[in-house]
Amino acid sequence: MRPNFHELVRKRLPQLTRETAHEIADHLGDLYDDALRAGAAHRDAVAAALSALSDHAALIADPTAVGRLPSGAAPWQPGQSVTRSSRGGAMLVNLQRDVRYAVRMLRRQPGFAAVMILTLTLGIGVNVAVFSMMRAALLASLPLPDPDRLVAIASWTPQSGAHTDFSYPLYVDARDAASGLAGIAGYLSDAVGIATADQRERVVAEFTTSNYFDVLGVRMQAGPGFTGADERRGAALVAVISDRIWRSAFASSEDVVGRTLSVDGQACTIVGVAPPGFTGFVRGERADLWVPLNQFFPLRHRPDMLDRRNTSWMSLVGRLRDGASPSQLEAALTSALRGAAAENNAEWRMRATPASGGDTSLVEGLDRPLQLLMGVVALILVIMAANLANLLLARSYARQAEMAVRQSLGASRVRLAQQLIVEALVLATAGALGAVLAGTWVARAFEVRSAFGSTALSLSIRPDWAVVAFTALVSLVTALAIGVAPALGLRRVTATEALKAGGDMGRVVVTRARLRGALTIVQIAVSLILVVGAGLFLRSLSKIRAVDPSMATDRTIAATLNTTLRGYDEARARQFYSAVLGTMSAQPGVESAALAFVLPVTAGGMRTNLRAGSTTPPVDAPIEFDMVPVSPGFFRATALPLLHGRDFSAADSDTAPRVIVINERMASRFWPSRDPVGEMFKIGGDESYTVVGVARDTKYRSLREAPRMTMYLPLSQFHESSVNLVVRSSLPVDVTIAAMREAVRRADPAMPIYNVRTMAEHVDRSLYLDRLRARLISTLALLALALGAVGIYGVVSYTVAQRTREIGIRLALGAEPSRIVALLVAGGARLAIAGIAIGTGLSVWLARGLAAQLYGVTPADPIVIAGAALLLFTVAVLATYLPARRATRIDPMLAVRSE
């Protein structure tokens, strides 16, 4: 019995229009009839007919078959059971097909796919890494409730900018004045040694007021936390530990509250455990301990410091109450504190700046370098994208025959372009997945240091929504960029051209070649930008290195001693110091041994800011100078020349009149026309010193700084519990170090001595950021250069392969091989020159933004630019020459015959 094909088709493919179903059914019917006529059995004939429907994907994707009724057809009868797919449905099906097809194509060429995906992972991954770092260091908010209500509080003058240090009494005034608008807490951080019965560790602790956790919005995991009485003088010693310490030192035990923990030698009672994820307010530091302010070590021995108004040492943070605005807070604080701060500068005011990211003082210096890095890796991505686009272009040429046939069968260019872009998207997705994983791993492995350079910053880098969104965006843009290239190369290819595969005729080839050439020029231009950038930073680094700090860096060794680690009071510390110095000075071969609070070229130090006219002799502008307590012999130990007067001596004891040694700059500022030795220097009404010597200027904070004023004081008159032992000796380095360790051990066997370094190393360490920048950019520039070279090599190889027949014919006709090479090299050189020209223009324009980070080098340094251009040109010509030479070895006979 003849089957009802109409019903069959409608049942099988209900989404077809009635007309299409009818047409198909007719076709099947004819197939059946023909099969029968050819002698097949009924069942086989039916099977033959139905097999024609097996791959109906194209059919149900066609908009006519599915989307609308052809004109003049019969209208729909009510009750028809045919469902109509919408246009959108057709598009979705198309997309599915394209994705499946793309995956199939890539599986067939695993090598090609692997190269593409790996390159994408690298290019996108590097961007993800830098973005993760930026996010962790600068962009992300702290894991606190309503972080936008947090503000950092500082005083401000137009002359010296923001000042973030406050004294305790001033804090109390601020807290009370603002109580209606905001809660204000104070804090500072420092490293401490903690110990339980079986573990010792050095951690970062935040010393805070008792309302700190309330203001930040942190709820204890366990225990009550601080109470109001904890920060006052004489209160019991308490501490709040972090989740990490709770887990590692106390095994997350339930009864941790009430147990004791030794903090810098003193037993504290644990009153709380901070929630996991909270590591303090200072960004870039991981705090594991919170202790009330009054336990800050200097306060242990000078508890009256808590009440002194003229010592500023803590930072303030506030949380705005509902409805209050930062400017309201600023106004209230300014009017309330003006009197308390004794400021008669009319422009002095208080500022409250949003601090949802916490205290950024440690990471502030990172924003420019990270932005720079971001720009660099973005450029690398551009180069890689150009490379990949070229690759895809070449591959699409190989599939030209397939494309042409499909076009002549009616596929539209739009559909084919769509498919190419989907292919690129599939690749980019694979690359993106790899990039997120690789990127965060790289970011974590990369140790970031602050401007202080001495400790690595602790940044919590993890893939959060922002990183994923960034990756998706970058991948999408990259995919579109590289997919567009071969799609553009598609033209309305006719059947004739389709069958001319490999030929060197036809506009198709020229279009492709032009596109490849343009991409190569882009690569070269971007490579030049990066090479110029690397050159600028390298030159800058060498100039910084050449700065003369005016002191000796050879034969001088330093180490750090911290008497608080052993719980010394001032008397014991002094004893210790003199014992160590005595032993070292007696050592044969040691020219000089001394102690210093900070060494030159150290980021950080003790700084005093004074208003205009507050000194004697007075100056009429606000001043800032460093104060450096040192022992006698410091200037000899560091070979820092004393220009006038004398060094400190044993006579400048604690009971003797106060003396200071000032540096040249300070001398010329306060006593411009006379020798200041013997003069009196007074700060305010009560601090007065006699100047006994003038020392040569050196670099105090960094080699790049502008000249600053410094005042040296005798350590005996200005005691510091943590100092650097600095020794100048003619002995070999390791012998001197051994002697230093022995001297310390003899004075106190349990005193740790750390951070042992030569002065040369010390100075070099201060250059850490600059060296890092230079190294990073140089590496990336080299990568870019390699990529650019590969790009050119590829283009020229490709041209040679394409034009094999033409070249072969020319050779057969008697052309000189060297002329052919010259022709090809000239072509490559033209691309290179174009790229270099564009790149130079862009470099000059972009480098202007770098001026602040460079030292002694102008952004448009001609030597660097010329060098970069020359380097790139050489590389380009070489990359052109090598494949060009291959052309000359083409056998003319083979070439003419080849396809």
Partner 1 sequence: MVLAAIEDAPRHGYDIAREIDSRSAGVLRFHVASLYPMLYRLERRGWITGRWVERAGHRRRRYYRLTPEGRRTLAAQRAEWRDLIAALTRAAGLESA
- Binding positions for partner 1, rule: CB under 8 A: 19-20, 22-24, 26-31, 52-59, 61-65, 70, 72-73, 409-412, 494-496, 499-500, 897
Residue type, 120: L
How far apart (Å, rounded) are the C-alpha atoms in residues 820 and 889?
Answer: 11
CB of 59 vs partner 1, minimal distance in Å:
5
CB of 399 vs partner 1, minimal distance in Å:
19
List the beta bridge partners of residue 189. Answer: 206
CB of 394 vs partner 1, minimal distance in Å:
25
CB of 401 vs partner 1, minimal distance in Å:
14
CB of 844 vs partner 1, minimal distance in Å:
51
CB of 509 vs partner 1, minimal distance in Å:
16
Q: Which is nearer to partner 1, 31 or 435 (by Cβ)?
A: 31
Q: Which is nearer to partner 1, 200 or 897 (by Cβ)?
A: 897
CB of 54 vs partner 1, minimal distance in Å:
8
How far apart (Å, rounded) are the C-alpha atoms in residues 407 and 202?
Answer: 71
Q: Which is nearer to partner 1, 23 or 679 (by Cβ)?
A: 23
Q: Which is nearer to partner 1, 449 or 810 (by Cβ)?
A: 810
Largest Cα–Cα separation, the chain: 128
What residue spans of 161-309 are helical by DSSP H? 168-177, 212-216, 243-250, 297-301
Q: Which long-range contacts (CB under 8 A, 24 or more apart) does 456-465 make?
A: 457/137, 457/284, 457/285, 457/362, 457/363, 458/279, 458/284, 458/285, 458/286, 459/133, 459/136, 459/137, 459/284, 460/136, 460/279, 461/132, 461/133, 461/135, 461/136, 462/132, 463/132, 463/436, 464/135, 464/140
Q: Residues of 846-861 as b/e, b for ≥16 C-beta within 10 angstroms?
A: ebeebeebbbebebbb
CB of 72 vs partner 1, minimal distance in Å:
7
Residue 325 CB contacts under 8 Å (≥ 6 apart), including other chains: none
Q: Which is nearer to partner 1, 412 or 874 (by Cβ)?
A: 412
Q: Which is nearer to partner 1, 34 or 816 (by Cβ)?
A: 34
Sign of CA dihedral 219, 220, 224, 230: negative
Q: Which is nearer to partner 1, 31 or 430 (by Cβ)?
A: 31
Q: Which is nearer to partner 1, 624 or 891 (by Cβ)?
A: 891
CB of 407 vs partner 1, minimal distance in Å:
11
CB of 100 vs partner 1, minimal distance in Å:
16
CB of 39 vs partner 1, minimal distance in Å:
18
Contact status, residue 731 vs residue 740, Cβ threshold 8 Å: no
Contact status, residue 115 vs residue 387, Cβ threshold 8 Å: no
CB atoms within 10 A of CB 133: 25
Sign of CA dihedral 65, 68, 74, 77: positive
Tokens of 136: 């962790």
CB of 799 vs partner 1, minimal distance in Å:
22
CB of 354 vs partner 1, minimal distance in Å:
59
Q: Which is nearer to partner 1, 52 or 650 (by Cβ)?
A: 52
What residue spans of 662-767 are helical by DSSP H? 664-670, 733-747, 759-766
CB atoms within 10 A of CB 250: 18
Residue 318 CB contacts under 8 Å (≥ 6 apart), including other chains: 150, 151, 152, 153, 178, 182, 183, 184, 185, 215, 329, 352
Q: Which is nearer to partner 1, 96 or 412 (by Cβ)?
A: 412
Q: Which is nearer to partner 1, 5 or 348 (by Cβ)?
A: 5
Q: Which is nearer to partner 1, 169 or 503 (by Cβ)?
A: 503
How far apart (Å, rounded) are the C-alpha atoms in residues 260 and 251?
Answer: 14
Strand 615-616 relative to strand 680-683: parallel, antiparallel, unpaired? antiparallel
Q: Which is nearer to partner 1, 27 or 338 (by Cβ)?
A: 27
Contact status, residue 622 vs residue 612, Cβ threshold 8 Å: yes
Q: Which is nearer to partner 1, 22 or 444 (by Cβ)?
A: 22
Report which of 162, 534, 497, 97 is spatially closest to residue 316, judged by C-alpha positions: 162
CB of 417 vs partner 1, minimal distance in Å:
16
Report which of 834, 841, 822 is spatially closest to residue 881, judged by C-alpha positions: 822
Q: Which long-range contacts (CB under 8 A, 24 or more apart) does 400-405 make?
A: 400/493, 400/497, 400/498, 400/501, 400/508, 401/498, 401/499, 401/501, 403/490, 403/493, 403/498, 404/493, 404/494, 404/495, 404/497, 404/498, 404/499, 405/498
Sign of CA dihedral 773, 775, 778, 783: negative
Tokens of 740: 């230093």
Q: Which is nearer to partner 1, 28 or 306 (by Cβ)?
A: 28
CB of 420 vs partner 1, minimal distance in Å:
19
